């Protein structure tokens, strides 16, 4: 009798049967940035924790065009839950930076959840940089001697540096790279002296002595680097900016039951002791909000970054 009731329910609601079988093969999670960057590090950690509920998750790095290439792959994928996107703040920035995108962010993608919220960026300096403080950086920039690297035009690592420049009343030369990882490499080999990066990637670089931390952009000092002052207390009073977020999205029209299944797995992962500790140590707060909350938050972030892009004077390409 129970099997008949289940069969009837499945016939009346096809997505129920689909969700009950999901997943029955590996899930492909596209990270639209090069391996080695913050988004890639977080994606691997969170996906690893979610495998307890979802089975194998294969990370596929598809860097290029500030995340657009990888995002387009997901937007065009079959909406069955087996192709996911782990993306950072860039997806909310791109609609204001590029005149034409090969997808509509809110129409062609379904928001699963925001897995983590960042507290600030670390201002990193190469070991050949003359200054030791934010005040030194501002003074040198006033002399027209400073360039900074970023993960690409319109990347969050670009916008935060421009926000700082305008607040400080200076101009720094922007040197964009095809992703955060090559931008960090450029800093380490001395091609540029400065970069603003999310904290997760900063820790090993500073601890190993390969780079130096000048300041933190958050409202307060970061517990992992308590000796690193905030920008506000070290040369530019009142300036602060969080380091954005990381989120999971799926192709539009992915069944709601599968979206909910994915969100629950993400929630279980980011709030598990191991992943939670990793996120907090990297300067992120675990979240994994509901799909409805995530959809509203993404719309608000797109509007917010439209205002920021306009404020820093970045023209759409």
Domain boundaries, the chain: 27-118+244-311, 122-216
Q: Does 122-216 carry CATH code 3.40.190.10?
A: yes
Beta strands in the chain (DSSP E): 27-31, 57-61, 83-88, 109-118, 122-126, 147-150, 173-176, 194-197, 211-216, 245-251, 284-286
What is the CATH code of the structural domain delimited by 27-118+244-311? 3.40.190.150
Q: Global pTM?
A: 0.83
Evaluate the CA torsion angle 137, 138, 144, 148 in order and state its sign. Answer: positive
Evaluate the CA torsion angle 24, 248, 197, 227 in order and state its sign. Answer: negative
Q: What is the pLDDT along the chain (317 residues), one digit of tens a residue?
A: 444 454 554 555 555 555 668 999 999 999 999 888 889 999 999 999 999 999 999 999 999 888 999 999 999 999 999 999 999 999 999 999 998 999 999 999 999 999 999 999 999 999 999 999 999 999 999 988 899 999 888 889 999 999 999 999 999 999 999 888 899 999 999 999 999 998 888 889 999 999 999 999 999 999 899 999 999 999 899 999 998 899 999 999 999 999 999 999 999 999 999 999 999 988 899 999 999 999 999 999 999 999 999 988 888 78
Beta bridge partners, 30, equal: 60, 85
Least Cα distance to 165 among 138, 139, 187 occurs for: 138
- Fold agreement between 27-118+244-311 and 122-216: yes
């Amino acid at each position: 009798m129970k099997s008949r009731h289940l069969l009837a329910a499945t016939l009346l609601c096809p997505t129920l049967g689909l969700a009950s079988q999901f997943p029955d093969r590996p899930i492909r999670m596209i990270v639209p940035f090069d391996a080695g960057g913050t988004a890639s590090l977080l994606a691997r950690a969170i996906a690893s924790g979610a495998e307890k509920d979802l089975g194998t998750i294969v990370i596929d790095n598809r860097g290029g065009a500030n995340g657009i290439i990888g995002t387009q792959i997901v937007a065009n994928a079959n909406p069955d839950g087996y192709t996911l996107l782990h993306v950072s703040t860039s997806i909310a920035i791109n609609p204001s930076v590029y005149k034409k995108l090969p997808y509509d962010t809110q129409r062609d993608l379904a928001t699963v959840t925001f897995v983590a919220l960042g507290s600030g960026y670390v201002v990193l300096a190469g070991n050949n940089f003359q200054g030791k403080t934010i005040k030194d950086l501002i003074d040198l920039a006033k002399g027209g001697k400073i360039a900074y690297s970023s993960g690409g035009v319109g990347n969050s690592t670009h916008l935060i540096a421009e926000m700082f420049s305008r607040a400080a009343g200076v101009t720094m030369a922007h040197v964009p790279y095809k992703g955060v990882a090559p931008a960090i490499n450029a800093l380490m080999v001395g091609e540029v002296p400065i970069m603003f990066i999310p904290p997760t990637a900063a820790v090993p670089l500073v601890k190993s002595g390969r780079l130096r931390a000048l300041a933190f952009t958050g409202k307060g000092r970061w517990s992992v680097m308590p000796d690193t002052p905030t920008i506000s207390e070290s040369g530019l009073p009142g300036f602060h900016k969080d380091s954005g977020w990381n989120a999971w999205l799926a192709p539009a029209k992915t069944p709601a039951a599968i979206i909910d299944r994915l969100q629950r797995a993400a929630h279980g992962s980011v709030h598990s002791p191991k992943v939670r500790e990793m996120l907090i140590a990297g300067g992120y707060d675990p979240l994994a909000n509901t799909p409805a909350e995530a959809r509203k938050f993404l719309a608000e972030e797109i509007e917010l970054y439209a205002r920021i892009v306009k404020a820093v004077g970045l023209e759409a390409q």
